Amino acid sequence: METADYFCMGLFLFAGLFSLLASCLNWEWFFTTQKSEYIVRTLGRSGARIFYGLLGVALITCGLIGLFGGE
C-alpha cells in the first residue's frame, strides 16, 4: 500500500471514532449542528445516536479492512 492509502484509511478510522464517540457520549454540540439536524428531526435524538453509532462502527470496520485486509 502507498502512503495515500494509509492516509485514506486513517481518515476512515478517525471519522468512525469521532462519530462513535459523539454517539456514546451524547455530545450536545454534535447533535445540534446544522448538518445533523435532519437526522435528529427524522429519527429523534435516540435514533440519531444509534444511527451515528452504527455509522462510526461501519467506518471503523472499513478502515480496518482497508489496513489489514488489503493487499
pTM of the model: 0.90
Predicted confidence pLDDT, tens digits, the chain (71 residues): 789 989 999 999 999 999 999 999 999 999 999 999 999 999 999 999 999 999 999 999 999 999 998 66
Residues 35, 51: Cα–Cα separation, whole Å: 14
Q: How many other CB atoms are there within 10 angstroms of residue 64's CB atom? A: 14
Contact 63, 9 (CB under 8 A): yes
